[in-house]
A = this chain, B = another copy of it.
């Protein structure tokens, strides 16, 4: 490396900004052709990508990474093919750029158009999964943005091979150079420099754990779109259909417990707790879920055979439990006096991500929808649907827990901004 790190990042920023200005006016057809070429390049360079990955894997094994980490890092032919297919799929999505969001004419004859345009340059800072390189880059390009990727050190060789294949293919297909740049070192100082690059970066999207996100936010003068944890709730109201409630609870907790839209806390209306809690608990316990609850809940279960049968899976809950994202087969359960208390609990302890009411009462559903202050509020459906693909947005780059700009699943539209085009005939301001 000849450059100092600040100089390196500054140069990357300049190159990205110049590329972004050109990419912003490329046609949808040109972008799609380039995306197909990028997918093709990933496929045709499978061997090269896999040998880069083998280097990363060898080092990771030497470094004693956990089995889960190794699995996240590992690529094979099938995974590379699926990565390429993801890029091809993005080519088929509608292009958000150029949409006329609104247009109107003022009394003085000025005609205004609010149109959708790319954000500009997006920084993506992420951890070990190398598929983030391809996923993020193709979404950025489709929405007309240049990107600067800063991946984790474990996946460095793999990321370099993927990013180079994609950028070269895009350039050969006629898009400007430097639309996809991977930071060529994983020195920690690069994160800090990116976070101060407000002259060139429109925003940073960190993709990783809370520690990573906090580290970026702490020093950033660039706006950061944050994807914090999901402390998601299901509230079973007094008029809930028990079968439906049980189905939703099992799905929200057990289908994939390690993700942000999985349920962490179950709230049950006290009027039905005596009947519904044993029913739900049995099913959850059979699904190997550990249950944590207060005295009232424990008392209800004590009257059943569950307490004995699943003693090791039933524990008292503490105040702390209401704020925990277990990401595991653990569930806290609270019995509430009313829908008011349920809403209050969710707004106090939740993370404004995804929360659900199961109820047969439309009025209760309306209140829950209006008063729960979360990005995604469900009536009678699993919280697991909070996802770009499930929402019909095509791919997603993440699920924002921010309120500004993008909230909930972020896809192509959320990677754009707007500008005003004003058409006059010589108007001046009085």
Contact = CB atoms under 8 A, between A and B. Distances in A.
Interface in A61-118: 104, 106, 110, 112
Interface stretch (A167-175, A266-274, A415-423): A415-423
B408 A405 contact: no
Contacts of A381: 110, 422-428
A403 interface: yes
B251 A390 contact: no
A217 interface: yes
A407 B403 contact: no
Interface string A202-229: 1100000000000001100101110000
A404 B380 contact: no
Copy tally for this chain in the complex stands at: 2
Nearest to A106: B392
A412 interface: no
Interface string A386-430: 000011100000000011110110000000011111111111110
Interface of A: 21, 24-25, 104, 106, 110, 112, 119-120, 198, 202-203, 217-218, 221, 223-225, 241, 244, 247-248, 250-252, 255, 347, 365, 369-371, 373-382, 384-385, 390-392, 402-405, 407-408, 417-429
B380 A429 contact: no
A428 B382 contact: yes
Contacts of A106: 390-392
A8 to B, nearest CB: 22
Given A404-B203, A429-B251, A421 B384 contact: no
Contact of A419 (B250, B255, B376, B426): B376
